[in-house]
Amino acid sequence: MNTLVLWIFALLICMGVILAIGNTIWESRVGRNFQVFLPWSEYQSSAVFSGFLTFWSYIIILNTVVPISLYVSVEVLRLGHSYFINWDRKMYYSQTDTAAEARTTTLNEELGQVEFIFSDKTGTLTQNIMVFSKCSINGQTYGDVYDEFDQKVEITEKTACVDFSFNPLRDRKFKFYDGSLIEAIKLEDPAVQEFFRLLALCHTVMPEEKSEGHLVYQAQSPDEGALVTAARNFGFVFRARTPETITLCEMGQAVTYQLLAILDFNNVRKRMSVIVRNPQGLIKLYSKGADTIIFDRLDPSSGDLMYTTSEHLNEFAGEGLRTLALAYKDLDEDYFEVWMKKLLFASTVIENREDQLAVLYEEIEQGLKLLGATAIEDKLQEGVPETIACLGLADIKIWVLTGDKLETAMNIGYSCNMLRDDMNEVFVISGHTLLEVQQQLRSAKEHILGLSRVSNAGDVEKTDMFAEDSVFEETIIAEYALVINGHSLAHALEPQLEHTLLDLACLCKTVICCRVTPMQKAQVVELVKRHKRAVTLAIGDGANDVSMIKTAHIGVGISGQEGMQAALASDYSFAQFRYLQRLLLVHGRWSYFRMCNFLCYFFYKNFAFTLVHFWYGFFCGFSAQTVYDQWFITLFNIVYTSLPVLAMGLFDQDVNDQNSLRYPSLYKPGQQNLLFNKRQFFMCTLQGMGTSFLLFFIPYGAFSVTVKEDGSNFSDQQAFAVTIATSLVIVASVQIGLETHYWTAVNHLFVWGSLTVYFAILFAMQSNGMFGIFPSNFPFIGTARNCLSEKSVWLVILLTTVVCVVPGLAVSFLRVDLFPTLTDKVRHLQQTTKRQGPQEQNLRRVRRTSSRRSAYAFSHQQGYGELITSGKNMRTSTMSSARSPQRTPHSSNWIENMLKRKNEVSCISDESTGAAESSSRAIQTPRPQHTD
């Protein structure tokens, strides 16, 4: 639009030059004859100087062609469109009482032009609410439900849950469906007990027990919260911790472990361990982490169990579950004392402290004995597959950028239907060196294009067949997918490979970048912005997505389980990924459509209004005389035509929201910038010029041969001005009526109200009363009354209106009838058929079996082990210090003991961890808690 305004300035100067030259010629040839009674002043010494003065006079008169008020009107429209987003009840999430929020007013129309979406996975596509789903203990899997024929049964809402009512400290929201695990607990299986003991001890969760049995967990990550909650329900309840102890309620009995060390998690270790001394005085190391990491540190005696557990992990990963391997180790007292001295020394050094600690951690975490594995489900958000499918039909390319492991990212891709089993091929780029990545990218690109040669720079030597490959890309986009890990992406983003990466990615329907850092997310977005003239949108929910959100043209934040960092850094925010569909396909498309129609009409009416002065200049001796009354010039854009065009820009819609969602292809004109571009501006300019030409010459020709009812001629310029002004206001009102697709009460009020206000002001300002009060300001006394009382004047106005409107109307009818667009077809269908709601996408969730494993279920940041052991985040209460927990005698039937205690313990578990209490809560400043 800024470029077009500069063009308009150039046109204004050209018109001024033409009229100035005309004035110079007229003064030199004709004007000299009038010097007898219109003598030139001493300053006006020549016709050329007269033309120079005329140039600036016409610049002032014709300045209304420059749309100064356009920028104000555009901001008003953007503000209104932003409020429509905020007020949309269909984007309101009642569970968290979160409404959509437009945090900017400058990007609404760009929402209708998005071509690339960059999305995070965890918390954006998924709920980031972890649920303990399955586990493998000592080679036995738990979590599946079987019928009487030993056939696996699909778990639904109707499936009966395991009854945990025997446990007064249970989390009532926890659900598990396999009763065999409870039977193993009842039989006091040592492996099962050790499994849940590990889950209850090896973590950095902070507990709060406000009253007896009233437990609330604050977890560093939702994964840890889910695991500790599972142990809690199966009888190993994490009750309290101090810097030196961890208190559990094991099978109904209070047990205190001395906490000797926490070997914290980080991105390199990909595991976490704790070293504790149990009440019997034995020192044990419990470890959990990524399966590949734990398996490399197992004792050879666990070899057979490792292979069995590995098969179980493959099954879990095939279902898209996040997995962890669990192992333990018995430590010798003397060895541990020596190792602890080394640890204390390493923790006090200044240089290479982290490296020395890592070496010591690696030393003691060897020879582990495998216990089993856990499988946690991070469920997809509601409507994610349907939303992705709908956006794909709108020709929007979705790239997933996630910090998760490759296997997990691919499994979620299959769950979202971004990856499908019927795809021709899924290219996995996992090279470790620049040459390996280059070769993999070039091979994939060569395979897709089917070419025999690839240039040394990695760019395909396109043949004539692919010179115009838009149609070719359409055929291959639906067939291929690209998956690249973070290590390979670092090489692929090098200058010599970035073009190859971008070309290959654009040839694939789905792109997934896994194990990427926040900086790499921003680099991928910047790559597309730099080389593709396309509008980009980034959506995420956590602090690690902020750089990506800020880099894209449009940033969208999901106010979910990861806090408000992403939402505060974004341009738009809401609670669920599925609302992105409505934001783009409804609000974005409407905003773009409304803004384009507004601009087209605004330029049209400005040219039609202003260029009448240009044509009049040829008939007034280029004297810079205005056609209209000065008050009409002042009020035309402010009063007579401002509100109708604002109403159209605010409320107009080509099709309703249901059809906007039902036919995603309606979004494509915005991506191709078809509704307002230089060609459309040129057409608006021509139409405005044509209208101004007719507005001037039809009344001019009519007045030259028309007489009043009393036989006198229409010889006054004032009557001529009123006729043109009235014709202009009526034509502008009729034209905006024809441009409006969706009439509201506001549109009717503004259009008909503007016409009424025009005539009211016209008669008022040209009345005897106004002239009597302000004789010098209102010289057109009685003109409207005398002029508009003539039938011939109304015939001229009618003729002018019809001739100005009919050609454009005929062209519109012929275009819709002969060359209808998809919008025209849908609008016709909408007018003839009542739709009851958006058509549901019939998408089947693909369940698949894969040999790939899911990611380790840890947060991707340093843990809080050092903070816990320092004790800075805890304060010991008087009650807890007075009570020293002791181990009670072990019962042969712990469930009976728990049932006995149930009557004594008045506790209803509040809610343990879950994602709602995870990283967005006070884990960064852990709350005080009580030890039991």
Burial label for 310, CB within 10 Å (0-12, 13-18, 19+), is middle
Query: Considering all CA atoms of the chain, what is the largest pairwise distance in Å, rounded to the nearest integer?
Result: 130
Is 122 annotated among the ligand-binding residues? yes
How far CA 929 is from CA of 208, 322, 467, 552, 920, in Å, comes to 5, 30, 68, 43, 18
Q: Are 596 and 578 in contact (CB under 8 A)?
A: no
How far CA 693 is from CA of 46, 78, 333, 615, 925, in Å, comes to 32, 33, 102, 7, 73
Is 120 annotated among the ligand-binding residues? yes
Give the separation between CA 213 and CA 191, rounded to whole angstroms: 27
How far CA 569 is from CA of 85, 249, 503, in Å, comes to 18, 43, 30
Kindly tell me the sign of the dihedral angle through the C-alpha atoms of 496, 497, 502, 504. positive
Give the separation between CA 130 and CA 855, rounded to whole angstroms: 13
Alpha-helical regions (H) of 68-141 = 68-86
How far CA 737 is from CA of 159, 740, 761, 816, 919, in Å, comes to 59, 5, 22, 17, 54
How are beta strands 397-401 and 114-119 bridged, if at all?
A: parallel
- What is the CB-side half-sphere exposure of residue 217 using CA atoms within 13 A? 31
What's the distance, CA 571 to chain centroid? 9
Kindly tell me the sign of the dihedral angle through the C-alpha atoms of 619, 625, 630, 633. positive
Residue 123 zone, left/alpha/beta (φ > 0; ψ -120 to 50; rest)? left
**What letter represents residue 546's amino acid?**
V
Residue burial 52-79, b: 16+ Cβ < 10 Å; e: rest: eebbebbbebbebbbbeebeebbeebbe
Is 532 annotated among the ligand-binding residues? no
Is 322 annotated among the ligand-binding residues? yes
557: phi then psi, degrees, rounded to nearest 5: -110, 140
Is 404 annotated among the ligand-binding residues? yes
Is 183 annotated among the ligand-binding residues? no
Give the separation between CA 293 and CA 324, rounded to whole angstroms: 10
Is 651 annotated among the ligand-binding residues? no
Residue burial 314-332, b: 16+ Cβ < 10 Å; e: rest: bbbbbbbbbbbbbbbbebe
Give the separation between CA 227 and CA 222, rounded to whole angstroms: 9
Q: What is the 3-state secondary structure (H, E, C) of 42-60?
A: CCCCCHHHHHHHHHHHHHH
Does the annotation count 120 as an active-site position?
yes
**What letter represents residue 226's amino acid?**
A
Is 403 annotated among the ligand-binding residues? yes
Is 288 annotated among the ligand-binding residues? yes
**What letter represents residue 649's amino acid?**
G
Give the separation between CA 628 and CA 640, rounded to whole angstroms: 14
Q: What is the 3-state secondary structure (H, E, C) of 464-497?
A: HHHCCCHHHHHHHHCCEEEEEEHHHHHHHCCCCC
Is 544 annotated among the ligand-binding residues? yes
Q: Are 380 and 412 in contact (CB under 8 A)?
A: yes
How are beta strands 572-574 and 480-485 bridged, if at all?
A: unpaired
Give the separation between CA 710 and CA 678, rounded to whole angstroms: 51
Give the separation between CA 787 and CA 785, rounded to whole angstroms: 6
Give the separation between CA 90 and CA 576, rounded to whole angstroms: 11
Give the separation between CA 364 and CA 366, rounded to whole angstroms: 6
Strand partners, 255: 248
Q: Which of 120, 264, 910, 932 is catalytic?
A: 120
List all residues 6 or more positions away from 516 whose beta carbon is below 8 Å from its beta carbon: 401, 402, 403, 486, 489, 524
> Which residues define the annotated binding site for ATP?
120-122, 224, 265, 288, 322, 402-404, 515, 521, 544-545
> Which residues define the annotated binding site for Mg(2+)?
120, 122, 541, 545
| Catalytically annotated residues | 120
